[in-house]
Amino acid sequence: MIWFVITAAILAIVTVFCLVRAQRSDKEIAPIVAQILFWLLIPLVSNTVLALSNNPDVCRFCYTVYFISTTFMLFYFAQFAVKFCNYDKQLPLIRKIMAGVVALDVINLILNYGLHHVFQLSVVDGAVTFESLWYHKIHLVLSFLLFGVSLGAFIIKCIRTSKLYRDKYIVILFASVVTSAWELFHVFTNENVDQAIVGFSICGIFIYLYSLEYVPSVLMDEMKKTVLATVSDGILFFDENRECIYANSAAKLMLGMGINETANGFEKLLSLTGEDREESAHYESKSLTCTKIEDGEEYIYDVELHKLHDLQGKRIGSFAKITDNTERTKRENLNRYLATHDKLTGIYNTDRLYDSIREVLQNNPDKEFYVVASDIKEFKLVNDRYGREFADKLLIRIANLLKDKAASSTTRYGRIGSDKFGCLIEKSVFSEDTFISAMKEVPNIDRNLVIPIIMHVGAYEVEDKNMPVSAMFDRAFIAIAGVKHEAEAKVAYYEDDSRDALLWDQKVTEQLDNAILTGQIVPYLQAQVSREGKVVGAEVLVRWIHPEEGFMPPGRFLSVLEKNGMIGKIDQYIWECACRILRRWSYEGRDDLYLSVNISPKDFYMMDVPSIIIALADKYELDRKRLRLEITETIMMDDIDEKLKTIDRLREAGFIVEMDDFGSGYSSLNMLKDMPVDVLKLDMIFLNDTAHNERTKKIMSLIIDLAKSLDVPVIAEGVETVEQVDFLAKMGCDFFQGYYFARPVSLDEYEKKNLAAS
């Protein structure tokens, strides 16, 4: 008996230790384990007391407590088994049934004090003997049933689970089976003290160990192996002599090792990293990127090498990790390409172009550069007329031309807008001719189709290399803006005043409407006189009296308005002013004076000039002869038939049409024959020349003679001296206009001078 007491005491101490640890554990199953251990302690203690005591009352209490606590212990053991074996789903139901059984059993065991239906104690030879009654049998059956639940759960789990895990279930199952056999033995031998409780305690300790402490080392090993085998990185382990002791399949594949080869792992790794054995011994860890070419394919690997040490710092080996970055690198390269290149043409996009230009400028502080931009005139029309696909082809063609011509290492080019391209070129290799010939090549998309597009190029010579690249291109585009109306491919250069000119253009364009409305645009009149010195009429010349700029002659703003197509507005306004003046003069009885107005060649493109002028003359009820119309010969540059018809319409309507600036540019004597005009205005250029040039005089004389023969009167412009008046008169000139007689003056002044006098 003494050995039982000692064993029980030791087991009790161990159980208490396990109980404390179980209570501290944060595992989910720990509270159930703690319950088992707690309810195990009580039968251990009560059986020890039973072994030592001969007092029937004490023994009765100990038996009762022992039976109740084993019932609870088995109750929790069953719950543990179900949970530990992962049959949680069934747990609530099983727990309810079991709780009912336990409650009934406990009540019966307590009632034994009054009913004496569980057991009886008698004292024989001073020793207490135990007699089992009918309910004790039932209690035993219930206990074995509870126990059976646990065994069942463990048996099923052992059959189903992986070999790796089976250990922990088998140990508990085995201990439980042995204990139950022991308990059966006790039941049949009817010993006073239940020595099987020792088995239960050992079972409890196993339960604690396997559920809360134990992680099978085989499981860890297996897991490590499986993880290493399945990761996509290559992993190699080397011992202290750098013999390869493990290489996973990824590593073998990357290093070209056979599937069963391991020993040559280190040599294979060195051939990838390009190191020699000696070199690789000298560092603790290292990362490097390696490339391998195999069957024409390039592979990119990141290799990490680490030496391994034990806790004392002694080297136990090393390991290498190889990551295949081929795909990632390709993807990154592709993304980088897409982010920096234009999708359509494949050349640099704006951001990349600007960055690369910045780099070149920074790296070449001693060199001189041009920033060059190109723009297609009315690209939108190309899109509309030929379709998007064709327009795309055109842009690709420009990109390819840029590629072909960019010979220098410092040249950078890219696409910086829908139809705009840009490049940086060293001044020493920049050639205007190359650009012009390239621009002329662009429209020849194929042999059968040459489309009428015009490209302009603007160049800015980089003076301040620190200026933002975008500002450099702004300047190149300003240069283009200055020539964008020109019909021929051209390289325009940025000059500081290009910018001012552009700003001026914008200002004039924006302010014109308001200037007309507020009376800033006014007609000035310059008298025209006859050979006898009599004022016969006047030319109406526009002036802009600007609130900030002051008095502006037409030279400052008309070219802008001709460029942007607004010339018609100002002309119509001046024509109407002229009509209004004539109307008033008519009321005042001055029907003898005419006014001649200028019609810009551009007006004929924008509007139906005859209809407008006829409508104006009608509105003011004018004698149409009193409104003279000055047309320059430049209108005859194209659509000659159309223009001739227009002039005819005006003349047939009763207006006098004068040919202005005759002799200034394109004039030929032939033209005079063809052009149906009423008056010829000799350009002042002749007069500037005549002082020194007899030849010019002869030409003038010829023109005047020719006009005479056609019955066309001649008026000379720009007459400044009496000598000029004399020789012009001698040649047969009929009328004069010029500073010699009068400068252009305001209406008021003109009227004061000419109307009052007569």
Q: How far apart are CB 716 and ligand C2E at their closest, in Å?
A: 10
Query: By C-beta, is 495 or 576 nearer to ligand C2E?
Result: 576
Closest CA to 292 of 277, 274, 265, 280: 274
* Cα–Cα separations (whole angstroms), residue 644 to 536, 620, 667: 28, 27, 16
Q: Give buried/exposed letters for 695-721 (b at 16+ CB in 10 A, else e).
A: ebbeebbebbeebbeeebbbbbbbbee
Residues 6 or more apart whose Cβ sits within 8 Å of residue 16: 41
The region of 84-92, 565-573, 598-606, 728-736 touching Ca ion under the rule CB under 5 A is: 598-606
Q: Which does 398 bind (CB under 5 to 8 A by kind): Ca ion, ligand C2E, none?
A: none
The region of 29-37, 85-93, 522-530, 630-638 touching Ca ion under the rule CB under 5 A is: 630-638
Q: How far apart are CB 539 and ligand C2E at their closest, in Å?
A: 6
* Cα–Cα separations (whole angstroms), residue 30 to 18, 87, 211, 472, 583: 11, 17, 8, 75, 115
Q: Which does 422 bind (CB under 5 to 8 A by kind): Ca ion, ligand C2E, none?
A: none
Q: How far apart are CB 744 and ligand C2E at their closest, in Å?
A: 5
The region of 44-52, 129-137, 623-631, 747-755 touching Ca ion under the rule CB under 5 A is: 623-631
Q: Which does 738 bind (CB under 5 to 8 A by kind): Ca ion, ligand C2E, none?
A: ligand C2E
Binding site for ligand C2E (CB under 6 A): 526, 541-542, 553-555, 558, 571, 574, 598, 600, 630, 660-661, 684, 717-720, 737-739, 744
Q: Which does 574 bind (CB under 5 to 8 A by kind): Ca ion, ligand C2E, none?
A: ligand C2E
Q: Which does 541 bind (CB under 5 to 8 A by kind): ligand C2E, Ca ion, none?
A: ligand C2E
Judged on CB neighbours under 10 Å (0-12, 13-18, 19+), 37 is: buried
Contact of 350 with 414, CB cutoff 8 Å: yes
> d(Cα 292, Cα 60) in Å, to the nearest integer?
85
Q: How far apart are CB 661 and Ca ion at their closest, in Å?
A: 4
- DSSP symbols for 61-122: HHHHHHHHHHHHHHHHHHHHHHHHTT-GGGHHHHHHHHHHHHHHHHHHHHHHHHH--SEEEE
Q: How far apart are CB 629 and Ca ion at their closest, in Å?
A: 10
Residues 6 or more apart whose Cβ sits within 8 Å of residue 701: 731
Q: How far apart are CB 672 and ligand C2E at their closest, in Å?
A: 18
Block residue for tokens 């703003």: 557
H-helix or E-strand spanning residue 266? helix 265-273
Among 183, 505, 571, 630, which residue interacts with Ca ion (rule: CB under 5 A)?
Answer: 630
* Cα–Cα separations (whole angstroms), residue 706 to 96, 239, 578, 702, 714: 132, 114, 31, 6, 10
Q: How far apart are CB 742 and ligand C2E at their closest, in Å?
A: 8
Q: How far apart are CB 529 and ligand C2E at their closest, in Å?
A: 12
Among 64, 195, 248, 598, which residue interacts with Ca ion (rule: CB under 5 A)?
Answer: 598
- For residue 528, state whether it binds Ca ion (rule: CB under 5 A): no
Q: Which does 458 bind (CB under 5 to 8 A by kind): ligand C2E, Ca ion, none?
A: none
**Cβ–Cβ contacts within 10 Å for residue 623, how many?**
12
> d(Cα 757, Cα 58) in Å, to the nearest integer?
157
Q: How far apart are CB 551 and ligand C2E at their closest, in Å?
A: 11
Query: By C-beta, is 419 or 661 nearer to ligand C2E?
Result: 661
Query: By C-beta, is 498 or 600 nearer to ligand C2E?
Result: 600
In the shown chain, the binding pattern of residues 642 to 671 toward Ca ion, with x for contact by CB under 5 A and - for none, equals: ------------------xx----------
In the shown chain, the binding pattern of residues 712 to 731 toward Ca ion, with x for contact by CB under 5 A and - for none, equals: -----x--------------
Judged on CB neighbours under 10 Å (0-12, 13-18, 19+), 567 is: buried
Residue 206: alpha-carbon gap to chain centroid: 63
DSSP state of 212: I
Binding site residues, Ca ion, CB under 5 A: 598, 630, 660-661, 717
